[in-house]
Amino acid sequence: MLYIGSDHAGYALKEQIKATLKADNVSFEDVGVHSEEPADYPDYAEKVGKLVAKKAGNKGILICGTGIGISIAANKLPGVRAAMIYDDFSAKAAAEHNDANVAAFGGRTQKIADVKRWIRLWLNTPFSKDERHHRRVDKITRLEGGRKA
């Protein structure tokens, strides 16, 4: 399952992303926010992160003003590998090299046309079969106490 969440600064971009996901027939659950009323991004990073970490294969999309704060917050949760995606290469590498299960974006810094492309790249790029990437992700997992998502 794909979960999506944002703070108030990411709300408008989140709504545009949801329209893209619907058009692409991607199932998702929106965990909030549901307006531009001020909200704290760590709350939504936690909601999405906990849902992603519950089951292998789950993914999440998070949006705040820059994507930075919400990705930092999400990465505090065991089982979450959140990547701030900012170009085609980072979208592919996040999936292929880092097995990122959460993608973060900036509602005030990124354009929907780019974000749509990056989400499609991230969702459609499989994790590498190279041993070195698996070894590195395993080391990340050990840093967070051994819990795999």
Is 133 catalytic? The answer is no
Q: Please answer whether residues 100 and 94 qualify as being in contact, where contact means their C-beta atoms are separated by less than 8 angstroms.
A: yes
Q: Say if residue 137 is preceded by a cis peptide, omega within 30 of 0.
A: no
- Residue tagged active-site, from 34, 64, 133, 134: 64
97 is catalytic: yes
State the CB neighbour count (10 A cutoff) for residue 19.
Answer: 12
Question: Whole-angstrom Cα distance, residue 104 to residue 82?
Answer: 7
The catalytic position among 8, 34, 97, 133 is 97
Residues 46/73, Cβ–Cβ less than 8 Å: yes
Catalytically active residues are 64, 97
